[in-house]
Structure 1
């Protein structure tokens, strides 16, 4: 399945950057209690970041996508279980292993839409190595199913509130990159017209006033001027 189809499914849930909700927080609290771990998240992956709808034991509300364990989780059909990340060549040099939050154990289950799109994950983490049994994995998968049930219920409620009609999409998500000064930064295009775009980024202050925007699906570069800087996003005006 394509990355754009995955982002379309994520956009349909209208969950990104929404406030914390007890219904999701209960699931991460259950995960920390059941598996006796200090950290658990419900994570959604857009074009450039992992964003935590619910988190226990984590300070950050989002991080870059590329090094995220949950980014690996959504790329597999099976659960991702890492008993000791420091001894696993895939993760031993990972910045989240060598630095905060110092992950040693990770178990994650993809959150899949009914159509099979992996929009995010639910995970349990520890700062020390652990064993995770098949039963533990099955229980975590049940929590993942409950998270998807919540997302689907919220989508049905929005449809009911619109009189049974499909509500207009409030957000379009596309993966892209910003190029500047021989550097590149991943971004998520949130709105797009012939003259302007709004993009999500991790560090808006680090972006210069003029950049080139490349939408991954199109592969076309467009010169832009930054017209506004917001927390975690930029408004861009196309120059060409």
Structure 2
């Protein structure tokens, strides 16, 4: 994964010179961890090849192989590794914070080189560092899977929310239409009520006028009858 992001020429792991692979060359011997092999150098090479497998490629019809170096690292090699790490981080414009595949690849290569250096001096310590590296990579892969799943979940929730938003907008439009219809119905009812009230008032006024006229007629008739009655009764006195 790191080699797909960072070019091979920027690999921080120290490799030996490439060698030509013979046509009938046997496969690399399997690693022996029981400590019974008397050749410590060979055992160290096997461990290194297990931790950091050799690179193989074809060029001009020939097959080449390049193994990690089994030469112990000096203090200057460590200083040079630090300088190369800082230089490549700056050259490749790796981000200082957050998720950065370039920074992770370079630090992963630096860790592999440290494992190589430690394994040459103490194979058991190198294997322990290998376990630490594998655990870190597994944890990073788990975080990556969790991050990708959370992104997918966020996208689904966003699409669901967008869909709900459209439904809510349609529902809001319907409610606005219903609200406007209710306003129109209310305005019509108020107009009918005012008209009915005005008609009732006019009818009441008209009835009151007819009633007053009827009373006036009755009063005038009463006065006439009273005058006639008085005219009839007066001569007898």
> Which bin holds the TM-score, normalised by the shorter protein?
under 0.3
TM-score (norm 2): 0.21
Higher relative contact order (CA 8 A, sep 6+): 2
TM-score (norm 1): 0.21
Give the number of the structure whose alpha-carbon radius of gyration is greater. 2
